[in-house]
Amino acid sequence: MPAVTINTQYVPLPGLSGSNFLKAGAQGEFRIESTLQYLPIDAGDGLIFIKPQSRDLLFTNLAIVEKVGEKRFIKGTPGKGNTIIHKDHYEHYFNFEVEKTLTKNNRLSELEYSLPVIDNYHKPEVHFQSQFRTLPDKDFETILNGWVYATRTVFGKLVNALPRQNKLEFMIQAMDHFSTIDFRETALVDGLDFLYQYIERRILSRGRLLVATDGIIKKELEGLLPPEEVGFIDPETKAIQNISTQAKIFKSLFDIEKQKSLKKSLQDTIKNNEGLETRFQKMFNRRLWPVDLEK
């Protein structure tokens, strides 16, 4: 089924103004203004409605185009001299009926690494910042079912949470380790394993050192040196980092990891969804790793 996303920030739907979802069976009409005389939206096409929420996008409903309505030509408004304030454009009207509510993994932040149409991982929402967007069949299927490419999502979330200098360092070390500059021939699961090793070596080991140092300060220097006044200076930003505060963050992280490791959780997820992982591997075959080096 051909499918199109409709961003309700630019194409208002009255039913979504005070609610996140439309009820199944609800009918309505929307209008798209465009300089194009014909739009790639036909009767029978699927519609995915999008509602902006804070810094995220919510995929709310699947609807079907019941009827392509009237099309009005709007003459541009002339300005002074030869200038034109508004160009000639068309108002396109469409009638729809809601098929279902999307409730499983229905946020862009949950699906951003599972959609090949996305390659901006710093601001993935820019890919849907227009009145409408046609969707490839596989992307439509992914959004409709709330399917998540677990391996790629964990890799992307982890690597893009690293400070920029660490991301650059990781990529340089990965290029050397895998003897490649684009990783198109490198299995993502191998890249994720190398990322785990990098985080353990360059991030977590230092976190354990911070926790141990904080413990020594509190035990040996209690009463002599206030823990909150002990820290270090970032050589690049000159910002003062308090050891005690940083140690608390790492201690919380280590406590969570003791309960159930991320690596073990991902292994269980892949084992229980082998067919889905295989589907995504084919979809993203020879794609670059989802690393945002801009930030």
pLDDT for 6-55, tens place per residue? 999 999 998 888 899 999 999 999 999 999 999 999 999 999 999 999 88
pLDDT confidence of residue 83: 59
* Rounded CA separation 115/103 (Å): 17
Cβ atoms of 41 and 4 closer than 8 Å: yes
Determine what percent of the chain is predicted with pLDDT higher than 90: 64
Confidence of residue 202 (pLDDT cuts 50, 70, 90): confident
200-239: b (≥16 Cβ within 10 Å) or e: eeeebeebeebbeebeebeeeeeeeeebeeeeeeeeeeee
φ/ψ region of 223 (left if φ > 0, alpha if ψ in -120 to 50, else beta) reads left
Q: What pLDDT was estimated at residue 85? A: 61
The enclosing H or E element of 144 equals: helix 137-145
The yes-or-no verdict on residue 79 having pLDDT over 80 is no
Residue 219 — φ and ψ, nearest 5°? -80, -45
Which pLDDT score, from 0 to 100, does residue 92 have? 98
Q: What is the pLDDT of residue 261?
A: 72
For residue range 140-182, list pLDDT tens digits in order.
999 999 999 999 999 999 899 888 999 999 999 999 999 999 9
Mean pLDDT score, 278-294 = 93
The residues that bridge with 71 in the sheet, in sequence order, are 92
Q: What is the pTM of this model?
A: 0.81
Report the pLDDT value the prediction gives residue 216, as an integer from 0 to 100.
58
The upper half-sphere exposure of residue 294, i.e. CA atoms within 13 Å in the direction of its Cβ, equals 7
* pLDDT of amino acid 218: 61
CA distance 292 to 295: 7
Q: What is the mean pLDDT of residues 266-283?
A: 93
- For the cut 70, the answer to whether the pLDDT of residue 251 exceeds it is no
3-7 and 240-242 strand pairing: unpaired
Nearest to 282 by CA among 154, 140, 116, 127: 116
Q: Is the pLDDT of residue 71 over 60?
A: yes
Q: What is the pLDDT of residues 219-248, one digit of tens each?
A: 655 555 555 555 555 555 555 556 566 667
Residue 257: per-residue pLDDT: 61
Distance, CA of 210 to CA of 241 (rounded, Å): 11
Opening angle at CA 31, ends 26 and 37, nearest 5? 135
